Amino acid sequence: QKEVEQNSGPLSVPEGAIASLNCTYSDRGSQSFFWYRQYSGKSPELIMSIYSNGDKEDGRFTAQLNKASQYVSLLIRDSQPSDSATYLCAPRMDSSYKLIFGSGTRLLVRP
Amino acid sequence: DAGVIQSPRHEVTEMGQEVTLRCKPISGHDYLFWYRQTMMRGLELLIYFNNNVPIDDSGMPEDRFSAKMPNASFSTLKIQPSEPRDSAVYFCASSFGVGEKLFFGSGTQLSVL
């Protein structure tokens, strides 16, 4: 079993729709969770972090965490073509500061 | 600040040659990470440093890979000898303390022929 699992996609949604990106992780010691966005040919950049069970909202982005189910998700409301990118889920064990990245979900937002 | 600076941006070399990748972290950051990204394996952590000291090198694939951080503003990742399977994008990233945000460099696209 991979440490971090993400559907590779592509996930295709129309402009204005809600995009839902999911991630499961195997290490129950993970306490911090991050979502990075990576445009083609570019480096990853942080867009959201979440530490507690529940939802965290930041603009059009909402991160959801369920530690009991070892599940974290990212919702993008009012999706724009500029949101088309690969989204990487990255849990971190606070004991080691190691960020383990999932393989990413490619999102395509159709105009 | 110019961000994390990596060089070279592209490197093409022949199998068996030595390759050295360079990284200048953001000033004041005390953690430095080296990642490798391929289509097959995604983004893999190779090694990370705290205050110039290697903390975890368990991701380094084999003895052909080595990394150093002689001071707070410079790190190198060396591959000797290089092999075609080392072809990938190598990213350097830095962060401040246990700060959540990793700042990535632009990466080095390595092609070993």
The phi, psi pair for A99, rounded to 5°, reads -95, 120
For residue A27, is pLDDT > 90? Answer: no
Is the pLDDT confidence value at A95 over 80?
no
Cβ–Cβ < 8 Å for B23, B90: no
d(CA B34, CA B108): 11
Chain B partners within 8 Å of A99 (Cβ): 33, 45, 102
What does the pLDDT look like over B41-96, one tens digit per residue?
A: 899 999 999 999 999 999 998 899 999 999 999 999 999 999 999 999 999 999 99
Contact B43 A98 (CB under 8 A): no
Nearest to A100 among B31, B45, B50 (CB): B45
Tell me whether B14 touches chain A (CB under 8 Å): no
Cβ distance A100 to B101 less than 8 Å, yes or no, reads: no
Looking at residue B16, its pLDDT comes to 97
In the stretch 64-83 of chain B, residues with CB closer than 8 A to chain A read none
The whole-angstrom separation of Cα A12 and Cα A79 is 11
Percent of chain A whose pLDDT exceeds 90: 77
CB contact under 8 A, B42 and A104: yes
Is residue A6 within 8 Å of residue A89, measured between CB atoms? Answer: yes
> Is there a contact between B77 and B23 (Cβ–Cβ < 8 Å)?
yes
Q: In this structure, what token pair is assigned to residue B95?
A: 């962060």
**Which one of B44, B101, B105 has the shortest CB-CB distance to A43?**
B105
Cβ–Cβ contact B90 with A under 8 A: no
pLDDT-derived band at A1, boundaries 50, 70, 90: low
Cα distance from N-terminal residue to C-terminal residue, chain B: 36
Instruction: Determine the Cα–Cα distance for residues B60 and B51; give it in Å rounded to an integer.
Output: 19
Contact: A99, B45; criterion CB under 8 Å: yes
User: Confidence class of residue A30 from pLDDT cuts 50, 70 and 90?
Assistant: confident
Inter-chain CB proximity A96 and B104 less than 8 Å: no
pLDDT, tens digit, 9 for 90 and up, residues B10-37: 999 999 999 999 999 999 999 999 999 9
Tokens at residue A65, please? 């965490």
Which residues 43-102 of chain A have a CB within 8 Å of chain B?
43-46, 49, 88, 94, 96-102
Q: What is the pLDDT of residues A54-68, one digit of tens each?
A: 999 999 999 999 999
What is the three-class DSSP state of A83?
Answer: helix
Contact between chains at B56 and A96 (C-beta distance less than 8 A): yes
In this predicted structure, which of A27-31, A45-49, A85-89, B52-56 has the lowest mean pLDDT? A27-31
**Cβ A11 vs Cβ A21: under 8 Å:** yes
